[in-house]
Amino acid sequence: MNVHLSSQRVLRLGLLSLMTAALGPTFASGQTHPPFTIASEREIARGITMICPSHRHGTLDQAIKKLTNLTANLPADRPSSSWVCRSNQLPTLEKITPLVDEIYINPYVLLSTDPPAADTPVWPGCDHPMLNQVRAIRDVAGADQRLIACIDLRGEPSHYEKRRASFEEIEWLTLAVVGAGYQGIVWRSEPDPKAAWRMRLRRLEDGLRAYAQELADARPVAWVSAGDGGFVSATAGEHRLFVCVLHDQYMHMLPDHSAFQLPLEVEPSQVQLRIALPLGTTVQSGQTLGGVPVVIENADGHLAVNHRVRGGGDMLIFDLTTASARASDTLQQDIAASAPQR
């Protein structure tokens, strides 16, 4: 699908790239993106250009006309943005994406039964109603659209009527969007002040912030697979590979599809990862998001990692090295080719 950007948006994107150039490496497309966002709904609400274009501004066509006028009058150094709600989520996203720099969206308010395509790099082989919707949003928006996921810390109300989400479930939801190449998270609501997991949430945030620029620049790649049907998805940038692994015992619907089961006494899950890198690229070292070193083995022309997943999931970070300038070009071309395109 060919997308024609307005001259105002092109100028704004150019200025944003210049402003953030000192924050991290340049991605294969030649752009450096604003860092990965972690914020509260209250912190970002006033800065959004348009909220709920599908139903708060007349018809969608009327909303698009209004949004076009609003973005044309924004200062050149201020990104345009839209909060896309649940109403006609994917069709609205398809029409709004070309008009703005950032999309804020709740990927968990709706579920999808559409299974993954055979060649998708986003949660490949994972036919899960939440991952299907996370993937569909990324596919419709395209790899270069800045997507910010809105996650309710209480648990999405339609799925959590009689209890709040556990930390492991919030961890699962967070890593699901990171593994799909989203560029940020906005927390809706606040965790219970008495919740024992508030510090665990802070550590998760700190771990993601440590790689904020590289996560923002990374794009989904089809380099990693898992044995035994494990939930695995990877993104990569110029110097690092990020592999998100979800525990498969979380986020299962009750038989009547009314809510998510609360798994009790969940044991760690053992996942066998197979990593096949582009020619000329190697992994120098790896660690978990918490800083624990990862053991990497060579096996029949690929790399193998045997990882024990605790909690809702984990993210593994691998340092990439290239043997030559030509290998570096191959790496960047492979990243660009793997990413979902509009």
Are the beta carbons of 117 and 96 closer than 8 angstroms?
no
* Gap between the Cα atoms of 245 and 175, Å rounded: 8
Contacts with 225 (C-beta within 8 Å, 6 or more apart), sequence order: 124, 125, 232, 273, 274
* Gap between the Cα atoms of 109 and 106, Å rounded: 6
Are the beta carbons of 9 and 80 closer than 8 angstroms?
yes
Asked whether the predicted pLDDT for residue 215 surpasses 80, the reply is: yes
187 conformational bin, left if phi > 0, alpha if psi -120 to 50, beta if neither: beta
Domain ranges of the chain: 7-338
Are the beta carbons of 186 and 39 closer than 8 angstroms?
yes
Spatial CA neighbour of 92 closest among 126, 59, 119, 116: 59
- The pLDDT value recorded for residue 342 is 66
Are the beta carbons of 209 and 235 closer than 8 angstroms?
no
Spatial CA neighbour of 182 closest among 151, 216, 156, 214: 216
* Gap between the Cα atoms of 74 and 49, Å rounded: 9
* Gap between the Cα atoms of 175 and 313, Å rounded: 7
Which residue type, as a one-letter code, is found at position 283? Answer: V
Radius of gyration of the chain (CA): 20
Other CB atoms within a 10 A radius of the CB of residue 157 amount to 11
- The pLDDT value recorded for residue 23 is 33
The per-residue pLDDT of the chain, averaged, comes to: 86
189 conformational bin, left if phi > 0, alpha if psi -120 to 50, beta if neither: left
Which strands sit side by side in the sheet containing 50-51, from one edge to the other? Answer: 37-40, 184-188, 146-152, 102-105, 81-84, 50-51
* Gap between the Cα atoms of 270 and 309, Å rounded: 6
Asked whether the predicted pLDDT for residue 258 surpasses 80, the reply is: no
Winning range, highest mean pLDDT, from 54-58, 170-174, 188-192, 266-270 = 170-174
Are the beta carbons of 74 and 43 closer than 8 angstroms?
no
Q: What angle do CA 8, 11, 14 make, to 5 degrees?
A: 150
Higher pLDDT among residues 283 and 18, named by residue: 283
What tokens does 142 get?
A: 């395209």
The pairing of strands 146-152 and 224-226 is unpaired
Per-residue pLDDT tens digits for 122-135: 999 999 999 999 99
Other CB atoms within a 10 A radius of the CB of residue 293 amount to 9
In this prediction the pTM is 0.88
* Gap between the Cα atoms of 275 and 254, Å rounded: 34
Percentage of the chain with pLDDT > 90? Answer: 58
* Gap between the Cα atoms of 242 and 207, Å rounded: 12
Percentage of the chain with pLDDT > 70? Answer: 89
Per-residue pLDDT tens digits for 23-39: 333 333 344 688 999 99
What tokens does 143 get?
A: 């790899």
Are the beta carbons of 68 and 9 closer than 8 angstroms?
no
